Amino acid sequence: MADALPLTRTAAAPETAAAIRAAVRAATQMGDSRLAQTSDAAALHALLSDPLVFAPIYTLPRPLTPDSVSGFIDQHLAEREAGAGLLFVREGEGGEILGYSDVQVWPDWAAGELGGALHPSLHGKGTGGRGAAASFAWMFETLGLDLLCETAALTNVPTQRLLDGLGFRRMGEVTSVRPDGTTRASLVWEMTRAEWAARHGFG
C-alpha cells in the first residue's frame, strides 16, 4: 500500500471511523472466503510461489518463504484487531488455497483497498472479475466504506481492464513501495459508494 493512498481524503466523522473499525474486527467471512489463520501459511505459500500469482503484486513479502507468509498472515491478524486490515483465503475441496483477498482500510478516511489473486487454473474464466465485484460491494456494505482506492502495475493489463470495466475512475500514478523497500509505479483508480450504487446497486 502506497503511503499516498487514498488520493481523495475526506475526513470521516469519529463515529463513522469507529463503526468501520468495529466492522473490520467482526469480519470472519467475505463471500466464499474465510479469515486466514497462521495455520494456512504453508498452503498460502504454495499459491503465492507461482510467478503468475505473485509477480504483479507489490504488497507480498519478499523473499516469499513459509516463514514470511506466516508473518504476512500474523500482520493481518494484528491489523484486524486494530480495525485496519483483513486477509481472507478461498479453499478448494482438497483444502488447497485457490485464492486470497487482502483488504486494507483507512477508517479515518472511510476508505479501503482490495488486493489479491487467484490460482492460475482459475484465470481467464471470469471468476476474478465476479469475485472482485462482489468483494467491492461487500467492502461498501459490510465495512461501511465511502471510497475504494485501487492500484495496478503499469504492465498489469487484466487488472486495468477489470477496474475500467467496473467504472472506477483513473486518478493518475503513484509510487508503490514493496515490503523490501523497492518501488514500482502504480496506476490509481477510485470509486465512491454513490458511484458504485448508481452503476451496480447493492444486494
The domains of the chain are located at 14-151
pLDDT in tens, 16-41: 999 999 999 999 999 999 999 999 99
Which residue has better confidence, 76 or 153? Answer: 76
How high is the mean pLDDT of the chain? 92
Contact 98, 120 (CB under 8 A): no
Query: What is the Cα–Cα distance from 1 to 176, expressed in whole angstroms?
Result: 6
Write down the pTM of the prediction: 0.93
**Percent of the chain predicted with pLDDT > 70:** 95
Residue type, position 117, single letter: A
Average pLDDT estimate for 87-115: 95
Nearest alpha-carbon partner for 100 in 121, 128, 126, 124: 128
Average pLDDT estimate for 93-102: 92
Query: What is the Cα–Cα distance from 182 to 176, expressed in whole angstroms?
Result: 9
Query: What is the Cα–Cα distance from 7 to 113, expressed in whole angstroms?
Result: 12
What pLDDT shows up at residue 1? Answer: 42
Give φ, ψ of 92 to 5 degrees. Answer: -90, 180
Domain at 14-151, CATH from 1.10.240.10, 3.40.630.30, 3.40.50.2300, 3.40.50.800: 3.40.630.30
pLDDT in tens, 160-197: 999 999 999 999 999 988 877 888 899 999 999 999 99
Contact 41, 70 (CB under 8 A): yes
Does the pLDDT of residue 93 top 70, yes or no?
A: yes
**Percent of the chain predicted with pLDDT > 90:** 75
**What cell numbers appear for 91 in the block?**
479453499
Task: Quote the distance between the C-alpha of residue 50 and its chain's center.
Answer: 19
Query: What is the Cα–Cα distance from 195 to 33, expressed in whole angstroms?
Result: 26
